[in-house]
């Protein structure tokens, strides 16, 4: 079974600084997709960024970017110029055969 590991239960960052959230996964598949979802206190699940495993180029979405290392099965999220609104729980997720497996999450605090 696929597993997703987020080794940092909590992280904090100063406003305007950069922070990197770690994620590793275990799979024997060659074709899959990876996601980062954000869950603010409102509980809503919000897609932050998506990466196809067959693409070598790292995905970027404005201040959010990933470092995808397929051989190492690593998928970290970098948040640049952190804002107070970035404070949330962040979940890494792996998708193969239409089933999404989530990590346990990293709680990000942004300090003013």
Partner 1 sequence: NAGVTQTPKFRVLKTGQSMTLLCAQDMNHEYMYWYRQDPGMGLRLIHYSVGEGTTAKGEVPDGYNVSRLKKQNFLLGLESAAPSQTSVYFCASNNDLGYEKLFFGSGTQLSVL
Query: Where along the sequence are the contacts to partner 1 (CB under 8 A)?
Result: 4, 9, 33, 35, 43-45, 47, 50, 52, 91, 95, 97-105
DSSP code of 28? S
| Shortest distance in whole angstroms from residue 66 CB to partner 1 | 15
| Shortest distance in whole angstroms from residue 79 CB to partner 1 | 18
| Shortest distance in whole angstroms from residue 57 CB to partner 1 | 17
| Shortest distance in whole angstroms from residue 81 CB to partner 1 | 23
Closer residue to partner 1 (CB): 55 or 81: 55
Residue 28 CB partners (closer than 8 Å, separation 6+): none
Closer residue to partner 1 (CB): 17 or 54: 54
Residue 27, beta-bridge partner list: none
DSSP code of 107? E
101, 51, 55: which is closest to 76 by C-alpha?
51
Closer residue to partner 1 (CB): 18 or 104: 104
The tally of CA atoms less than 13 A away on the side-chain side of residue 46 is: 14
Distance from C-alpha of 57 to C-alpha of 55, rounded to nearest angstrom = 6
Closer residue to partner 1 (CB): 42 or 57: 42
């Amino acid at each position: 079974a696929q597993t997703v590991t987020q080794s940092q239960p909590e992280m904090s960052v100063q406003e305007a600084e950069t922070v990197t959230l770690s994620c590793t996964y275990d799979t024997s598949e060659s074709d899959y997709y990876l996601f980062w979802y954000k869950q603010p206190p409102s509980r809503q699940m919000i897609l932050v960024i998506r990466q196809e495993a067959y693409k070598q180029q790292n995905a970027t979405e404005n201040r959010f970017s990933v470092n995808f290392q397929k051989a190492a099965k690593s998928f970290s999220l970098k948040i640049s110029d952190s804002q107070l609104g970035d404070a949330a729980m962040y979940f890494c997720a792996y998708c193969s055969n239409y089933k999404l497996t989530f990590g346990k999450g990293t709680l990000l605090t942004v300090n003013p």
